[in-house]
A and B are shown apart, each in its own frame.
Chain A
């Protein structure tokens, strides 16, 4: 099964739409709720990252019986130093993002913790791609 969702930069009202839909699909597939929670927390943090930092983005979801693959790609400023961005507490988020309850430098670390495999690539001035892969059975 494949799904895709658009994410608008700066539009916090819609952040979480993709994660909400993916959660419903995984519930229908009777995936263990603990595994669902890991997947949707990681995806939700990814959506918030696109809303917080990029101009626009796409979430591409591919589910097969054994695993879910999520590709979050955006057009945005990119990440100059990915190792630094992965550090808990490092953040470049604006005051507006912090008012929304995010921007404390925990997004990428939360995503890493909740995915079996995470792959991040980024070009400064162009955008970022984060790929998350997680097994659907424990």
Chain B
């Protein structure tokens, strides 16, 4: 069984801002997947997953909704839109804005014990 980590801890480690779903940050994730290609994300079967992406549009939030992903970390300082926050809050998805690069973000979460999907 992969190590669990609270979403709150992820935000702290990455010095990142939780911009949607502050009431859900005590929930835990076990796995991480990093991609800007949403069709790849839609092939995953894992649960308790955090998605790390630089793609900031409505399709990222919709993809998380369909794939039962509870938390998205947007890297490279990307900003989410109010429309994305509306859809994410309706679906209980936590959105986090992170200033670090994707590589650095992934490295830090890997060091913290978050497991890859494959």
What is the predominant secondary structure among interface residues of chain A facing chain B? helix
Contacts A101-B36, A102-B38, A107-B39 given; indicate if A23 touches B66 (C-beta within 8 A).
yes
A122 proximal to B (CB < 8 A): no
Q: Which of B37, B39, B58, B68 contacts A13 (CB 8 A)?
A: B58
Q: Are B63 and A101 in contact (CB under 8 A)?
A: yes
Closest Cβ–Cβ distance, residue A90 to chain B (whole Å): 13
Tell me the A residues contacting B by CB distance below 8 Å: 12-13, 15-16, 19-20, 23, 33, 37, 40-41, 44-45, 48, 100-102, 104, 106-107, 110, 113
- The interface residues of chain A lying within 8 Å CB-to-CB of B38 are 100-102
Interface residues on B, range: 20 to 34
Of residues 3 to 44 in B, which have CB atoms within 8 Å of A's CB atoms? 36-40, 42-43
Q: Which residue of B lies closest to A16 (CB)?
A: B62
B67 proximal to A (CB < 8 A): yes
Tell me the B residues contacting A by CB distance below 8 Å: 36-40, 42-43, 55, 57-60, 62-63, 65-68, 83, 87
Q: Which of A16, A102, A106 contacts B43 (CB 8 A)?
A: A106
State the CA gap A107–B36 with chains docked (Å). Answer: 15
State the CA gap A38–B75 with chains docked (Å). Answer: 28
- The interface residues of chain B lying within 8 Å CB-to-CB of A13 are 58, 83
